[in-house]
Amino acid sequence: MEFLDAMQHRFACKRYDENREVSEAQLKMILEYGRLTPTSFGLELWSFHVVRSAEKKKALFHACFDQESVATSAFTVAVMARKAAFANPDGDLVHSRGNRFPDPLNVFIDDYRPYYDYLKQEGRLDCWLKSQGYLAIANMMTGAALMGVQSCAIEGFHEQQVLDVLSLDGNQWQASLLATFGYPAEAERPKIRERLEDLVVFH
Ligand SMILES: Cc1cc2nc3c(=O)[nH]c(=O)nc-3n(C[C@H](O)[C@H](O)[C@H](O)COP(=O)(O)O)c2cc1C
């Protein structure tokens, strides 16, 4: 019930109470929810950037088309995904990730390579890497709601400007999804959702 309650009361918060801080322990917990989020093949080809200094928040606010949610947030998390080249099955990063698993590295690579080849051929590698960040943000947002902290997913951003704010190279990183966090300075908005029976198809 607690999870359902958090889902029902989380809402896309557009303006936060700037006088109320989110504790360091809560921030760490939100990041932990992200860290524990599963990734495809367990590769974790991502990083989480926490923007909380006044200066960087202002720059990120502009990179997000001046969305107030970013400017007033206690902090904004940007989930950044690696670019396709880093997912190469013969690359150092994949090897270092693969070496953590119980099976020998070659077993992991033999399993992974055909899927990598398929995604590459379809031109979907960057998209595959980017989409995984959405799961991390979803877990962070629901986890935050369980602690009474509100949030808003932010897809409205200028890619290059986000990279610049975070001092990241666009050949190496791409922005997946951002989310703002804080205590709301606005009333909760009720959920608007389609009925389950209109969404679900059983086969
Ligand atoms: C992937 C994604 C991107 C979003 N991007 C933005 C955004 O850039 N700015 C914004 O104000 N809300 C953004 N939202 C919030 C949605 O508009 C909001 O979650 C939706 O209308 C449902 O409302 P609720 O979250 O209050 O239930 C985004 C939500 C999702 C899931």
3-state secondary structure of 120: helix
Number of domains present in the structure of the chain: 1
Q: Which domain holds residue 18?
A: 2-83+130-199
Give pLDDT tens digits for 103-160: 999 999 999 999 999 999 999 999 999 999 999 999 999 999 999 999 999 999 999 9
- If one residue of 152, 189, 192 were mutated to test the ligand 1 pocket, choosing by the most ligand atoms within 8 A of its CB, it would be 152
Give pLDDT tens digits for 28-48: 999 999 999 999 999 999 999
Structure tokens at 178: 């951002």
CATH number for the domain that contains residue 166: 3.40.109.10
Q: Is residue 107 part of a domain?
A: no
Q: What string of DSSP letters covers 32-58?
A: HHHHTS--GGG---EEEEEE-SHHHHH
C-alpha 189/C-alpha 11 separation (Å) is: 6
What integer pLDDT is reported at residue 55 of this predicted model?
A: 98
Asked if 80 and 176 touch (Cβ cutoff 8 Å), the reply is yes
What integer pLDDT is reported at residue 14 of this predicted model?
A: 98
Give pLDDT tens digits for 15-32: 999 999 999 999 999 999
- For the purposes of burial, counting CB atoms within 10 Å of the CB of 14, is it exposed (0-12), middle (13-18) or buried (19 or more)? middle
Q: Is residue 110 part of a domain?
A: no
At 10, the pLDDT band (50, 70, 90 cuts) reads very high
pLDDT(1) > 90: no
Greatest Cα pair distance in the chain: 54
Query: CA angle, corner 68, sides to 64 and 74, nearest 5?
Result: 95
Q: Is residue 58 part of a domain?
A: yes
Ligand 1: centre distance to CA 203 (Å): 30
C-alpha 119/C-alpha 2 separation (Å) is: 38
What integer pLDDT is reported at residue 162 of this predicted model?
A: 98
Q: Is residue 93 part of a domain?
A: no
* Ligand 1 pocket by Cβ (under 6 Å): 11-12, 14, 67, 69, 152-156, 177, 189, 191
C-alpha 99/C-alpha 109 separation (Å) is: 10
Give pLDDT tens digits for 155-194: 999 999 999 999 999 999 999 999 999 999 999 999 999 9
What are the DSSP E strand ranges found in the chain?
46-51, 75-82, 150-154, 173-182
Asked if 136 and 48 touch (Cβ cutoff 8 Å), the reply is yes
Report in angstroms the alpha-carbon separations of 162 from 26, 87, 177.
Answer: 24, 22, 11
pLDDT(97) > 80: yes
Ligand 1: centre distance to CA 110 (Å): 39
Q: Which atom of ligand 1 is nearest to the CA of 14?
A: 11
Q: Is residue 25 part of a domain?
A: yes
Q: Is residue 113 part of a domain?
A: no
| Pairing mode, strands 173-182 and 46-51 | unpaired
